[in-house]
């Protein structure tokens, strides 16, 4: 019995230590009262969050965040329309900066997104679809695309390593 209690205590301690205690929690980047936004949603669970909204330009935006020891943000821009299957990667990569500039114009709270736009635009000659690129010491970007006959999705990941 004593052996069983010791094993149970050890198992509990190991299980409890596997749960990370994080100093930071994700915070919303946007707000439902901002101009250009429709149908704003924000969800948070532990160290992860999701924001979603439609812009007045018809682009559906989702932002996923994970914050703990390092930070990771993923922006998904989905636009309806045709022609995405034929668009070269260079056009998709240029659109990354344009989307971040647009998001940065909503209010002073989003203004720092312009810094991301500038860093990504400066790095664009070295940026390749689907590949990580260090754009600042320890800060990486990765861009992907999902093209369909009736819509296109641009996926931008910003993360620390």
> Per residue in 101-135, pLDDT tens?
999 999 999 999 999 999 999 999 999 999 999 99
Residue 82 lies in a domain: yes
The pLDDT assigned to 112 comes to 95
Measured distance CA(20)–CA(7) in Å, rounded: 22
Q: What is the reported pTM?
A: 0.85
- Residue 1 within any structural domain of the chain: no
pLDDT in tens, 66-102: 998 889 999 999 999 988 889 999 999 999 999 999 9
Angle, vertex CA 42, rays to CA 66 and CA 146, nearest 5: 65
Whether residue 65 is contained in a domain is answered as: yes
Residue 17 in domain: no
Query: Does residue 10 form part of some domain?
Result: no
pLDDT at residue 10 tops 90: no
Work out how many domains the chain is built from and give that number: 1
pLDDT value of position 17: 42
2 within some domain: no
Q: What is the tens place of the pLDDT at every residue in 31-64?
A: 999 999 999 999 999 999 999 999 999 999 999 9
Looking at residue 31, its pLDDT comes to 94
Q: Identify whether 66 is part of a domain.
A: yes
Q: What is the pLDDT of residue 69?
A: 84
Domain encompassing residue 46: 22-160
What dihedral do alpha carbons 40, 65, 74, 94 form, nearest 10°? 70
pLDDT of residue 22: 85
HSE, CB side, 13 Å, CA atoms: give it for residue 122. Answer: 9
Residue 90 in any domain: the answer is yes
Token duo for residue 153? 């999705």
Mean pLDDT value across residues 8-31: 64
């Amino acid at each position: 019995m004593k052996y069983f209690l010791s094993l149970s205590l050890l198992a509990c301690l190991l299980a409890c230590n596997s749960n990370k205690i994080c100093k930071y929690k994700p915070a919303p980047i946007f707000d439902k009262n901002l101009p250009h936004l429709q149908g704003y949603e924000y969800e948070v669970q532990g160290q992860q969050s999701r924001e979603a909204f439609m812009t007045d330009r018809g682009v559906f935006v989702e932002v996923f965040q994970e914050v703990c020891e390092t930070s990771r943000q993923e922006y998904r821009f989905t636009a309806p329309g045709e022609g995405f299957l034929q668009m070269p990667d260079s056009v998709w990569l240029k659109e990354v900066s344009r989307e971040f500039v647009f998001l940065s114009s909503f209010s002073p709270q989003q203004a720092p997104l312009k810094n991301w736009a500038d860093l990504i635009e400066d790095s664009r000659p070295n940026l390749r679809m689907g590949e990580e690129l260090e754009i600042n010491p320890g800060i990486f970007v990765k861009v992907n695309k999902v093209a369909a006959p009736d819509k296109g999705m641009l996926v931008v990941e910003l993360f620390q390593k």
